[in-house]
DNA sequence: ACCTGAACACCGTTCAAGT
DNA sequence: ACCTGAACACCGTTCAAGT
């Protein structure tokens, strides 16, 4: 009993966090499809029925994992925007780069986040919205500076988000080698800024 | 024995096709994660070990399904391009629309096609390449007409492909309502054509 | 060549019972 | 409140055996 104390302290009162931690490693290593609740329980040192107290079923755990993923993604994007002060184009490039590298460094997690299944999980949907927020704010900034055309900032934000997400998928599915990630996102951002340019800039050409 | 003859005729010598057919319906209805080989065997009227003759394991069947999906997607895009003769912008809009609607009408299939797992399946990768071909040809056409800037057509094609794929994912994950699909792809195409415009057009503005 | 039936080692989920 | 252990109804995969 004494030599198990470390394991006990780890999940005592925090089995939920311990399970999420083990689940994240499992998803990273083998993908969400291979994740086994019984495996996680074993790894954490608890009976196979214990997770039930914290997650009603397998999907609920996957939803929680996706939610955490969106939260981290949003933080990563927000950090990138805040730490860049050299003008709108550079801020956009850094935000996109943060997104793209987070996605390609966590391909299985992003597959889970992009999965159809967590449609019904409201907290996951909220986390996804929150991750998207810094991008909308960035677009708004570009519109204020008249670098981007006027209009609904959400629309432009969605297109930028979709483009970057799509590019990372090309890499994660091996349709494109990882070495081309930066080249593709740079071209995409450059064209986005041109295609959505405000009057002042598109006339200055 | 006689009243089973229809079922027999259906898969006799073509169990593979019968399984793929049932699998496609199952994926469409419940997603690839829920697909069960034993279920398919039951539905087709064969023992649970019979599929083994045609698919080494579950993943091989999913790979074949993804491959068929890419083939149909490519055909759909190619048809859209060929049936439109009213200039490059319209051809691009139609190709993108065909892609977007195929994707949102078959969300579970696209999730499978975008899955990390079929990385190792060469025939699936070839089918994905083939589906991408009509888009590259379209870009080449735009460059020839100097509507698009010169350069590697594959690069522009990948960005367009990624953007549309990403937009359909926003819809399939319910981040955006399906009613906004056309609005988003139209805006995306318009901005793509502006952002990747050749000299002749960008100066004419 | 193609399929069957039993067997193996797993699953997720449920639930009475323990502390 | 939180966890256990047995039980249930499934899986995918393997393999000897049948035709």
Q: Are residues A98 and A193 in the same domain?
A: yes
Look at residues A11, A34, A53 and tell me which one is the last residue of a structural domain. A53
* Count helices and strands in chain B by DSSP H and E runs: 10, 0
Q: Are residues A66 and A116 in the same domain?
A: yes
Q: What's the CATH number where B100 sits?
A: 1.10.357.10
CA distance to A146, A157, A200, B44, per residue, from A193 (Å): 11, 12, 13, 53
β-strand partners of B197? B148
Q: Are residues B153 and B192 in the same domain?
A: yes
Residue B50: half-sphere exposure toward Cβ, Cα within 13 Å: 19
Enclosing domain of residue B26: 3-53
What is the C-alpha to C-alpha distance for residues A152 and A139, in angstroms, rounded to an integer? Answer: 9
Q: Are residues B127 and B189 in the same domain?
A: yes
Q: Are residues A107 and A36 in the same domain?
A: no
| Closest-lying nucleotide for B48 based on CA to C1' | C4
Q: Are residues B40 and B97 in the same domain?
A: no
Q: Which A positions 62-101 lie with beta carbon below 8 A of chain B?
A: none
Residue A96: half-sphere exposure toward Cβ, Cα within 13 Å: 30
From the C1' of D13, which residue's alpha carbon is nearest? B57
Return the pLDDT at B45: 93
What is the C-alpha to C-alpha distance for residues A87 and B68, in angstroms, rounded to an integer? Answer: 46
A59, pLDDT greater than 60: yes
Return the pLDDT at A10: 55
What is the C-alpha to C-alpha distance for residues A83 and B87, in angstroms, rounded to an integer? Answer: 44
Q: Hey, which bits of A48-135 come out as E strands? A: none
Q: CA(B48)–C1'(D12) in Å?
A: 10
Chain A residues with beta carbon closer than 8 angstroms to that of B197: 194
B47, pLDDT greater than 50: yes
Q: Are residues A48 and A62 in the same domain?
A: no
For residue range B149-194, list pLDDT tens digits in order: 999 999 999 999 999 999 999 999 999 999 999 999 999 999 999 9
Q: Are residues B129 and B147 in the same domain?
A: yes
3-state secondary structure of A36: coil
Chain A residues with beta carbon closer than 8 angstroms to that of B191: 159, 191-192, 195-196
Q: Are residues B129 and B74 in the same domain?
A: yes
Chain A residues with beta carbon closer than 8 angstroms to that of B67: none
Q: Are B167 and A162 within 8 A, CB to CB?
A: yes
A203, pLDDT greater than 60: no
Q: Are residues B140 and B101 in the same domain?
A: yes
Number of domains in chain B: 2
For residue range A18-50, list pLDDT tens digits in order: 999 999 999 999 999 999 999 999 999 999 999
Q: Does B184 touch chain A (CB under 8 A)?
A: yes
Q: Among B131, B124, B129, B130, which Cα is nearest to B65's? A: B124
Model-level pTM? 0.93
Look at residues A12, A32, A53 and tell me which one is the last residue of a structural domain. A53
Q: Does A108 touch chain B (CB under 8 A)?
A: yes
CA distance to A4, A22, A36, B55, B95, per residue, from A9 (Å): 9, 16, 23, 47, 58
Q: Are residues B32 and B70 in the same domain?
A: no
Work out the average pLDDT over B89-97: 97
What band does A11 get if pLDDT is binned at 50, 70 and 90?
Answer: low
For residue range A87-105, list pLDDT tens digits in order: 999 999 999 999 999 999 9
Return the pLDDT at B202: 54
Q: What are phi and psi of B85, to 5 degrees?
A: -120, 15
* Spatial CB neighbours of B34, under 8 Å, sequence gap ≥ 6: B26
β-strand partners of A16? none
Q: Are residues A49 and A63 in the same domain?
A: no
Q: Which B positions 139-168 lie with beta carbon below 8 A of chain A?
A: 155, 158-159, 161-167
């Amino acid at each position: 009993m004494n030599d198990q104390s470390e394991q006990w302290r780890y999940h005592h009162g925090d089995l939920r966090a311990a399970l999420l931690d083990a689940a994240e490693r499992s998803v990273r290593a083998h993908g969400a499809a291979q994740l086994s609740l019984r495996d996680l329980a074993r790894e954490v040192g608890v009976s196979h029925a214990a997770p039930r107290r914290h997650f009603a079923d397998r999907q609920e755990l996957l939803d929680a994992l996706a939610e955490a993923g969106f939260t981290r993604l949003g933080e990563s994007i927000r950090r990138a925007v805040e730490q860049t002060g050299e003008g709108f184009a550079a801020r956009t490039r850094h935000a996109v780069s943060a997104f793209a590298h987070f996605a390609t460094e966590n391909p299985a997690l992003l597959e889970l986040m992009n999965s159809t299944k967590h449609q019904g999980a409201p907290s996951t949907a909220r986390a996804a919205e929150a991750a998207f927020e810094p991008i909308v704010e960035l677009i708004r900034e570009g519109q204020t500076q008249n670098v981007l055309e006027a209009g609904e900032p959400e629309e432009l934000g969605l297109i930028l988000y979709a483009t970057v997400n799509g590019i990372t998928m090309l890499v994660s599915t091996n349709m494109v080698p990882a070495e081309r990630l930066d080249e593709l996102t740079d071209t995409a951002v450059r064209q986005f800024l041109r295609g959505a340019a405000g009057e002042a800039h598109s006339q200055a050409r």
